[in-house]
Structure 1
Amino acid sequence: MYEGKFPHKRYKLTFEFLEKHISKESLILDLGIVNPFTEVMTNAGFKVSNTLGEDLDTNTAAIENSNADVVTAFEIFEHLLSPLTVLKSIKADKLVASIPLRLWFSPAYRSKTDTWDRHFHEFEDWQFDWLLEKAGWEIKDSKKWTNPTKKIGVRPILRWFTPRYYIVYAERIKK
């Protein structure tokens, strides 16, 4: 149905995963500012609002005051110093989150020009799972995928076989 409408492989796979687990009737709070994937979700009929660019490490008010049924966080947690604080502040019972996985053959991403666009964490899947569990979430489904490039070299070849992205659907553990 959406073939050819996604600018990136990861958008297509993220959308398919989201659509598998989340009803279009749900209210979604997407962590981070409005972005191209926000448009993909809203154009497909999802009801999405975003945080406004506040520093979520120090200000979780937008999350705590949200009445969303679902929180999405697509490539957000690696930018936070304290993702545990953010995960614990979520009031919604459902979470869909993706992260770039740590690659043994490549250092963490660090922009030299943008102080926000840096990765403080690049998780292995088990580390992210543990973080979610510690924050009170139970993973119900997950998926990994590769991110091949059309460049020449050892690293580009490894990207054809080594998963780069990890996405999870989790539900709040009832106490």
Structure 2
Amino acid sequence: MYDGKIPKKRYKRTLQFLKEVVPTSQTILDLGVVNPFSEIMKEHGYSVTNTRGEDLDLDTSAVQTNEYDVITAFEIFEHLISPFNVLQDCKAKKLVASVPLKLWFASAYQSKTDERDRHYHEFEDWQFDWLLEKAGWHIKKREKFTNPIKKIGIRPILRRFTPRYYLVYAERI
């Protein structure tokens, strides 16, 4: 599908982080429907099952199973009204998640055409850390990175050196 190339810097960085903390022998439940990154994980030897698009704010049963070693959630928690419920109900012992960081120079993302594609939260790193800790997770590794875009303007310049994404590996306490 991708001819061995990872199409976006974010995917490359996330895959590198995942390889550092999760061996391919472990089973993964990826929150969200099948997506380009879940396909990339499979192409790199991971056994990945995706959730079916259920509203995780209302139904956390998908994460309440002992069938998986790891839960992954890449840019999912910002779309939930209450990510705490999902994080607390997870039965897997490991979590790899990323969230967009709150940027002082840009407001939270809100799609004009898709009411499901809105950010209820854009976290500061310490807020996401506290959320994980309160839900019973211990952070073992974290990383922030930028996501420059090829446009002209003040915001694109700021995006070159302002971290936009926060990746975390945590284990159940």
Q: In structure 1, the residue corresponding to 2:39 is in which secondary structure?
A: helix
Report the 3-state secondary structure (helix = DSSP H, G, I; strand = E; otherwise coil) of the residue aligned with 2:88.
helix
What is the number of equivalent residue pairs in this alignment?
A: 172
- For the residue of structure 1 that corresponds to 2:95, the secondary structure is strand
* TM, length-normalised to structure 2: 0.97
SS of alignment partner, residue 72 of structure 2: strand
Residue 3 of structure 1: how far off its partner (Å) = 10
In structure 1, stretches of 5+ residues that fail to align are none
Partner of 1:119: 119
Cα distance, 1:19 vs. partner?
A: 0.4
Residues 1:145 and 2:145 are matched in the alignment:
yes
Q: Which residue in 1 is equivalent to 2:164?
A: 164
Q: Name the residue aligned to 1:83.
A: 83
Establish whether residue 60 from structure 1 lines up as the match of residue 60 from structure 2.
yes
Alpha-carbon distance between aligned partners in 1 of 2:147 and 2:139, rounded to the nearest angstrom: 23
- C-alpha distance in 2, partners of 1:89/1:129? 17
Match of 1:74 in 2: 74
Fraction of identical pairs, as percent: 66
- TM-superposition CA deviations, 1:106-147 (whole Å, max 9, x none): 000000110110000000000000000000000000001001
What TM-score comes out, normalization by structure 1 length?
A: 0.96
**How far is 1:65 from its partner?**
2.8
Aligned AA for 1:125?
D
User: Which whole-Å deviations, capped at 9, do the CAs of 1:15-72 have from their partners, x for residues lacking one?
Assistant: 0000000010101000000000011000111000000000000001111135100000
Whether contact under 8 Å (1:31, 1:71) holds in the other structure is yes
- Aligned AA (1:93): K
Equivalent position amino acid for 1:103 in 2: L
Quote the residue 1:44 is aligned against. Answer: 44
AA of the residue aligned to 1:37: F
Matched residues in 2 for 1:29 and 1:155: separation?
35
| Matched-pair contact (CA < 8 Å) for 1:29–1:66 | no
Alpha-carbon distance between aligned partners in 2 of 1:4 and 1:164, rounded to the nearest angstrom: 25
Task: Return the letter of the residue paired with 1:48.
Answer: V
Task: Give the letter for the 2:91 counterpart.
Answer: K
User: What secondary structure, in the 3-state scheme, does the structure 2 residue paired with 1:18 have?
Assistant: helix
2:132 alignment counterpart: 132
2-structure distance, mates of 1:18, 1:150: 27
